[in-house]
């Protein structure tokens, strides 16, 4: 995509389908006045909406609508931009798009006008310095936001909140790098010089600030990606009932017949604005039924990919030999799952007061006891779900983030830790410290796009919608 970023581009900028209004957008590094005059019949005053006929090549009106001209650099892409706002019928918009391409072909400077690729308008905004890479990604995240909290956080990132945090870290690193590298020129004075300049104090303050930003970024990534939760356990322990209770709707069939659920049933819910992608799975057991066996295999696949696994138990069957044996088999296989991802849930607490007060009934530490039937204990389960996924409220507010941002910040933290180790040895290895600081600086630059490979840019923008 980057190889053709000088070509003029055009696309329908509104979602597919019928609507009251649709937009066709053109962006070009070359002057668009000749194309505007062909379509609109006259020049347009910059940044003013003009109501007029949008004309075909023979002069007939394709539609009547608004035309806006944004001369460079005062536009979304930083190039010359034309936006045509017409009635939102698919045929009308396709006719307008075709007319733009036709008119461009008739102008020598615009003869390479072509259809835009996914995300190419935002990519040009990035390449022309209108947005950094974190802000450009926030555009897509704002469009795709599935919760109100995610939308607010994406808007905060788009306004530059994450970029500002990264920029302040980068400025601190630059200052420290200059100090250390200047010190390398005076080896006989390096220790006194670093002590007077409080180099170690500066490094530790950067590390503390980085940890704070990393925490907020992890929370933002949870808002964007959501949490994958899998309900696992033997047949008839109440997995489908729990899914229905959490979702507030009858999504899964509930019967006393073992093996009712034979395939995955998924639903996305919100807890404190965080999306949770909950999957009900087939009961885990040995079976001769071919269909159910496939469902059980899919259950284990889902468990392997989950962020949190709810291991459900039936309180009414505790003490039964066959049931305990089945739970032991599942527990042995779940031993491969990271303990921080596993949450023990004991269902059917509504059965009887006698059961709840049994002296021999000892639940594992951190287990949740609830009733999917009555809803008792669901509030505690929701809190535990968020805690297991690493969610906690951040007073300063979140900015939407991606996993690549989290990984870049973690690499930065690793290089800063190595830099600190180099200066704490005797004698200090300042040349190695300087190299670790440089690598930390580069890792930070990946977030905003200061250091980004072309293939990374292509991967990021290809996930955008066409016209954005």
Annotated binding site for Mg(2+): 240, 261
Q: Given the structure tokens 């906690």, which residue do they identify?
A: 392
Q: What are the strands, taking DSSP E only, across 257-299?
A: 265-271, 274-280
- As a whole number of angstroms, the distance between CA 214 and CA 61 comes to 55
Going by their DSSP bridges, the two strands 19-28 and 80-88 should be labelled as antiparallel
CB neighbourhood size of 431 (10 A): 12
Classify burial at 259, counting beta carbons within 10 Å of its beta carbon; exposed 0-12, middle 13-18, buried 19 or more. middle
Handedness of CA 51, 84, 135, 9 (dihedral sign): negative
Q: Residues within the annotated binding site for GTP?
A: 236-241, 255-261, 280-283, 347-350
- As a whole number of angstroms, the distance between CA 85 and CA 446 comes to 37
Handedness of CA 40, 43, 49, 52 (dihedral sign): negative
**3-state class (DSSP) for residue 419:** helix
How many C-alpha atoms does 349 have within 13 Å on its Cβ side? 20
- As a whole number of angstroms, the distance between CA 358 and CA 81 comes to 73
Is the separation of the CB atoms in 182 and 199 below 8 Å? Answer: no
- As a whole number of angstroms, the distance between CA 9 and CA 112 comes to 8
Is the separation of the CB atoms in 341 and 309 below 8 Å? Answer: yes
Is the separation of the CB atoms in 440 and 173 below 8 Å? Answer: yes
Q: Where are the alpha helices (DSSP H) in 52-187?
A: 90-105, 120-127, 133-144, 148-158, 161-183
- As a whole number of angstroms, the distance between CA 357 and CA 205 comes to 52
- As a whole number of angstroms, the distance between CA 260 and CA 283 comes to 8
Please report which helix (H) or strand (E) contains residue 88, including its range. Answer: strand 80-88
Q: Residues within the annotated binding site for (6S)-5-formyl-5,6,7,8-tetrahydrofolate?
A: 25, 83, 130, 468
Q: Residues within the annotated binding site?
A: 25, 83, 130, 236-241, 255-261, 280-283, 347-350, 468
- As a whole number of angstroms, the distance between CA 12 and CA 50 comes to 19
b/e sequence 52-67, b meaning 16+ C-beta within 10 Å: ebbbbeeeeebbebbb
Q: Residues within the annotated binding site for K(+)?
A: 236, 255, 257, 260
- Which of 437, 440, 391, 453 shows the shortest CA–CA distance to 411? 440
């Amino acid at each position: 995509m980057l190889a053709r970023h000088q070509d003029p581009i055009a696309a329908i900028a509104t979602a597919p389908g019928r609507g009251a209004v649709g937009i066709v957008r053109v962006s070009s590094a070359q002057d668009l006045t000749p194309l505007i005059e062909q379509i609109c019949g006259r020049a347009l005053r910059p940044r003013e909406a003009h109501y007029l006929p949008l004309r075909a090549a023979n002069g007939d009106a394709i539609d009547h609508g608004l035309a806006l001209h944004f001369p460079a650099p005062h536009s979304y892409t930083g190039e010359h931009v034309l936006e045509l706002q017409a009635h939102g019928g698919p045929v009308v918009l396709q006719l307008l798009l075709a007319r733009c391409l036709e008119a461009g072909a008739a102008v020598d400077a615009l003869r390479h006008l072509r259809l835009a690729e996914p995300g190419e308008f935002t990519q040009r905004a990035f390449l022309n310095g209108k947005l950094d890479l974190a802000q450009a990604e926030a555009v897509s995240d704002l469009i795709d936001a599935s919760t109100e909290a995610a939308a607010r956080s994406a808007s905060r990132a788009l306004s530059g909140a994450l970029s500002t945090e990264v920029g302040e870290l980068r400025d601190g690193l630059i200052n420290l790098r200059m100090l250390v590298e200047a010190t390398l020129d005076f080896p006989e004075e390096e220790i006194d010089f670093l002590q007077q300049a409080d180099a170690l104090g500066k490094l530790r303050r950067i590390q503390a600030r980085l940890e704070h930003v990393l925490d907020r970024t992890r929370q933002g990534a949870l808002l964007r990606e959501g949490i994958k939760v899998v309900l696992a356990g033997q047949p008839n322990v109440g997995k489908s009932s729990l899914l229905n209770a959490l979702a507030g709707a009858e999504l899964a069939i509930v019967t006393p017949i073992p093996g009712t659920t034979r395939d995955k049933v998924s639903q996305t819910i919100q807890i404190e604005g965080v999306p949770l992608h909950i999957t009900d799975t087939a009961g885990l057991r040995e079976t001769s039924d071919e269909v159910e066996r496939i469902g059980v295999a899919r259950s284990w696949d889902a468990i392997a990919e989950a962020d949190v696994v709810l291991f459900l138990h039936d309180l009414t069957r505790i003490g039964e030999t066959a049931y305990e044996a089945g739970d032991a088999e599942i527990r042995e296989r779940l031993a491969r799952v990271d303990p921080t991802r596993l949450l023990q849930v004991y269902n059917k607490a509504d059965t009887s007061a006698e059961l709840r007060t049994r002296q021999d009934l000892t639940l594992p530490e951190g287990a949740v006891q609830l009733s999917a039937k009555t809803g008792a204990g669901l509030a505690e389960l929701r809190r535990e779900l968020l805690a297991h996924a690493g969610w906690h409220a951040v007073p300063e507010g979140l900015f939407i983030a991606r996993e690549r941002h989290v990984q870049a910040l973690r690499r930065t933290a690793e290089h800063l830790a190595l830099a600190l180790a180099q200066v704490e040895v005797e004698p200090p290895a300042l040349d190695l410290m300087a190299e670790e600081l440089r690598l930390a600086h580069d890792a930070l630059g990946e977030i905003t796009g200061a250091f980004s490979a072309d293939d990374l840019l292509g991967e990021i923008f290809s996930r955008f919608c066409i016209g954005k």
